[in-house]
Amino acid sequence: MTRTPPTGVPAHVPLVHVLRDRLVESVHHGSVVVVAPGGSVLFQAGDAETACYPRSAAKPMQAVAMVRLGLRLPPDLLALTASSHSGEDRHLAGSRRVLELGGSAEAELSNPADLPYDPVERDAWIAAGRPARKLAHNCSAKHAAMLHTARRHGWSTSDYLDPDHPLQREIAATVEELTGQRIAGTAVDGCGAPLFAVSLRGLATAAGRIASAPAGSPEGLVAEAIRSHPEMVAGSRRDTTALMAAVPGLIAKDGFEAVQIAALPDGTAVALKIADGSDRARLPATIAALELAGVDPDLLTRFTSDDLTVTDVLKKHRRTA
């Protein structure tokens, strides 16, 4: 295991330009890294070494930890466990099923009550006069799986989000193993779960290890679940789901504050963070990073926009494996 990533203000660089009639109107800074199988750096722009919070991009690692602890779910529900779901009917039904399989009830979830994440689903929910509920929170399936895993081991469930809970200690150990780094800091994510700070390089390394893991291993089970059910990882109107449908074998996960990971079956992987947390810059930077990782640009043209373009720091480089 390498040293703990340093903390501080990351040295971000300009990554994405917002254009209006060909004039640069706004600039989004950030950092991006592309790693080869094994974790060596193929390309880096900005700061891939300073610790940052992966937010929901950490969910595949959390899912791996729970599978290592004996969590067994059908592939669609395992993909949902690694999701930030949109709150579509299939997501709510799936989250409910994870609760049922673990012998838990919605009231035991420690995530906040919320409305569906997807704007269309949320508007319909509000129009129907439905109140916020825990099951509708985009992290509900992960929490249901955490309850399931804790119960399987006879651990307490009322405090399953405590960083000192056996479940969270095992998740932290898995994060450190997959990233090859010591956790630089622990915070509380928006859903209430412990959030472990690692570097973008560590995050990309973990994504690559999950994507290239042998079939049947905990990492391989999570990767295959994500690949086979991208609609459960985000939603029918979400770009992360569309990316996985467009690129054969890709696994991908976004996170709040404009974090993104994506990894190919051979273990080549990318991780990025947009400095200001703006989600509009996340997709253009991700597309450029995937091209640097060797993805056929023809598979990605549908995701490009004339109004959002990457800067020369991304345009002028190509994969140099």
Q: What is the pTM of this model?
A: 0.96
Checking DSSP bridges between strand 269-274 and strand 51-52, what pairing results, if any? Answer: unpaired
Q: How confident is the model over 303-320, as a mean pLDDT?
A: 78
Can you count the helices (H) and strands (E) in the chain? Answer: 12, 10
Tell me the CA end-to-end span of the chain in Å, nearest whole number.
24
89 burial via Cβ count (<10 Å: 0-12, 13-18, 19+): exposed
Predicted confidence band at 292 (pLDDT cuts at 50, 70, 90)? very high
**164 has a pLDDT exceeding 60:** yes
**201 has a pLDDT exceeding 80:** yes
**197 has a pLDDT exceeding 50:** yes
- CB of 102 closer than 8 Å to CB of 167: no
**87 has a pLDDT exceeding 70:** yes
Predicted confidence band at 306 (pLDDT cuts at 50, 70, 90)? confident
How much is the pLDDT for 313?
Answer: 87
**86 has a pLDDT exceeding 50:** yes
How much is the pLDDT for 38?
Answer: 87
Secondary structure, 3-state, 211-256? HCCCCCCHHHHHHHHHHHCHHHHCCCCCHHHHHHHHCCCCEEEEEC
Q: How confident is the model over 246-261, as a mean pLDDT?
A: 98
Predicted confidence band at 316 (pLDDT cuts at 50, 70, 90)? low
DSSP 290: H
**318 has a pLDDT exceeding 50:** no
CB atoms inside a 10 Å sphere around CB 177 = 16
Q: pLDDT by residue (tens digit) across 282-291?
A: 999 999 999 9
**320 has a pLDDT exceeding 60:** no
* Overall size of the chain counted in residues: 321
Q: DSSP string covering 1-53, please? A: --PPPP-S----EEEEEEEETTEEEEEEEEEEEEE-TTS-EEEEES-SSSEE-
Q: pLDDT by residue (tens digit) across 26-65?
A: 999 999 999 999 889 999 999 999 999 999 999 999 999 9
How much is the pLDDT for 11?
Answer: 96
Q: How far apart are CA 262 and CA 251, in angstroms?
A: 6
**321 has a pLDDT exceeding 80:** no
